[in-house]
């Protein structure tokens, strides 16, 4: 049983810097930042669990590539402890009869979780640490140090797997499938990548998090694998017997001032295309949640709400359900995976087309990062607006996409992709060749 210790933190904003600094000496760490202090995150506070939550150092590790959900359930049942980690998009192959055969630069496991030595839960100026260690050990861990980054980074030049011309062509193919009635909507993604990259992931994440300030930001280090995520989207949260999912469909750039923002938001709200994209995914999520939901408990709490972040406006819906106490925790995750916002409608056919048309293995991208508690609660984001980096192979990947419907304009979809990924390009000092 873990001990619980409470500390007052004079400088909460410095805690994430301290954790990132210490992560340079650790093999496993997960830091999840809600950016509640930024004043740039308009997500309702009712849906924010902690200002920051972190799992630090690993007592036990689970890395699997087959029978992953069973392995995760067995691991959870055996230890009944906190778990931090990720679910990759390619777990789809264990949910449905699908395959993943595209280029895989990152080469990550299908699923990876670890039991942390320390669990840090920050709310305001109050920090709770749950650990098997003594209070003195926890205090020593928190001891402030002057940050000295190991920075041997080299210049990064990203390549595109899809040229703009090829991207436009692919959108045309998708729309023909829609016209034939194969699908109604599909999330098509493209990869920007670089090889032989030397990077300081901690410093890059700190800059990215400052630049984007999103409510589901995360830094995950699993040995040589580094994930620097500035996600605005929650996949699924369980609190007691209540489930919520908050898919995003619809993105608009920020204006140069408040007046321009108001105009852009008004256009956003009145966009039939954006609303139809969002509603289709809401219907899909309702169906997914109903698999494990108590009778008549699936509800749309908010439809097509507009939320403003530092760099973009997003259209977010919130769907809730209630589950019976007897429902298996991991089964809930499996029943809704992968998330509808990153696949399409109908989900199975959309995933088949994604595999056929995309030219990279998504892996962790469009998967989920989060945690599971000993009580069976959990919270996972959607891995978008993310830099993936394998320090062993020196491969770096940035993927981005969007929902394609019959009303999609291919050029506008391409521009929307660049809007989404702009904070990452700014941090990497990369100028995209839009040709």
The question of whether 249 is a catalytic residue gets the answer yes
Q: Note the pLDDT of residue 311.
A: 83
Summarize pLDDT for 59-91 with one digit per residue, the tens.
Answer: 999 999 999 999 999 999 999 999 999 999 999
DSSP 181-222: TS-SEEEEEEEEEESS----HHHHHHHHHHHH--TEEEEEEE
Summarize pLDDT for 353-369 with one digit per residue, the tens.
Answer: 999 999 999 999 999 99
Q: Residue 245's pLDDT band (boundaries 50, 70, 90)?
A: very high
**CATH fold of 3-428:** Anthranilate synthase (3.60.120)
Summarize pLDDT for 307-329 with one digit per residue, the tens.
Answer: 888 888 889 999 999 998 889 99
Mean pLDDT of 384-395: 96
Annotated catalytic residue, options 233, 277, 355, 416: 233
The question of whether 426 is a catalytic residue gets the answer no
Q: Note the pLDDT of residue 145.
A: 67
Cα–Cα distance for residue pair 233/318, rounded to 1 Å = 11
Annotated catalytic residue, options 164, 175, 238, 249: 249
Domain boundaries, the chain: 3-428
Q: Does the pLDDT at position 146 exceed 80?
A: no
Q: Ramachandran region of residue 160, left (φ > 0), alpha (ψ -120 to 50) or beta?
A: beta
> What are the CB-based long-range contacts (under 8 Å, 24+) for 100-104?
100/355, 100/361, 100/362, 101/355, 101/361, 102/355, 102/358, 102/359, 102/360, 102/361, 103/161, 103/359, 103/360, 103/361, 104/360, 104/361, 104/363
Summarize pLDDT for 250-302 with one digit per residue, the tens.
Answer: 888 888 888 888 888 888 888 888 898 899 999 999 999 999 999 999 999 99
In the chain, the percentage of residues whose pLDDT exceeds 90 is 75
Q: Does the pLDDT at position 35 exceed 70?
A: yes
> H or E stretch including 9?
none
Q: Are 23 and 16 in contact (CB under 8 A)?
A: no
């Amino acid at each position: 049983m873990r001990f619980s210790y409470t500390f007052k933190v004079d400088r909460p904003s410095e805690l994430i810097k301290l954790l990132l600094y210490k992560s340079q000496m650790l093999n496993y760490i997960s830091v999840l930042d809600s950016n509640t202090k930024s004043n740039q995150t308009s997500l309702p506070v009712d849906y924010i669990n902690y200002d920051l939550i972190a799992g630090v150092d690993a007592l036990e590790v689970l890395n699997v590539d087959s029978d992953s959900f069973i392995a995760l359930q067995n691991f959870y049942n055996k230890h009944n402890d906190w778990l931090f980690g990720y679910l990759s998009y390619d777990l789809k192959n264990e949910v449905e009869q699908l395959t993943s055969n595209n280029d895989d630069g990152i080469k990550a496991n299908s699923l990876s979780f670890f039991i942390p030595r320390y669990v840090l839960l920050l709310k305001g100026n109050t920090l709770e640490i749950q650990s098997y260690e003594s209070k003195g050990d926890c205090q020593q861990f928190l001891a402030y140090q002057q940050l000295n980054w190991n920075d041997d980074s080299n210049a990064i030049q990203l390549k595109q797997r899809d040229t703009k011309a090829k991207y436009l062509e692919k959108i045309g193919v998708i729309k023909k499938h829609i016209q034939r009635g194969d699908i109604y909507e599909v999330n098509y993604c493209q990869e920007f990548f670089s090889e032989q990259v030397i990077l300081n992931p901690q410093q890059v994440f700190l800059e990215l998090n400052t630049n984007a300030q999103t409510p589901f930001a995360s830094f995950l280090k699993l040995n040589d694998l580094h994930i620097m995520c500035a996600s605005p989207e929650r996949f699924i949260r369980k609190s007691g017997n209540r489930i919520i999912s908050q898919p995003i469909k619809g993105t608009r750039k920020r204006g140069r001032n408040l007046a321009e923002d108001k105009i852009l938001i008004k256009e956003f709200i009145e966009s039939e295309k954006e609303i139809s994209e969002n509603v289709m995914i809401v219907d899909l999520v309702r169906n997914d949640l109903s698999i494990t939901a108590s009778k008549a408990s699936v509800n749309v709490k908010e439809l097509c709400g507009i939320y403003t972040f530092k760099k973009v406006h997003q259209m977010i819906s919130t769907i809730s359900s209630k589950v019976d106490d007897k429902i298996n925790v991991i089964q809930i995750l499996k029943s809704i995976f992968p998330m509808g916002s990153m696949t399409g409608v109908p989900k199975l056919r959309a995933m088949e087309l994604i595999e056929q048309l995309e030219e990279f293995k998504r892996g962790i991208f469009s998967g989920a990062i989060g945690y599971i508690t000993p009580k069976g609660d959990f919270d996972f984001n959607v891995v978008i607006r993310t830099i993936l980096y394998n320090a062993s192979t020196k491969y770096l990947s940035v993927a981005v996409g969007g929902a394609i419907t019959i009303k999609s304009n291919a050029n506008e979809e391409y521009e929307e992709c660049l809007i989404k990924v702009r904070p990452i390009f700014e941090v990497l000092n990369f100028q995209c060749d839009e040709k």
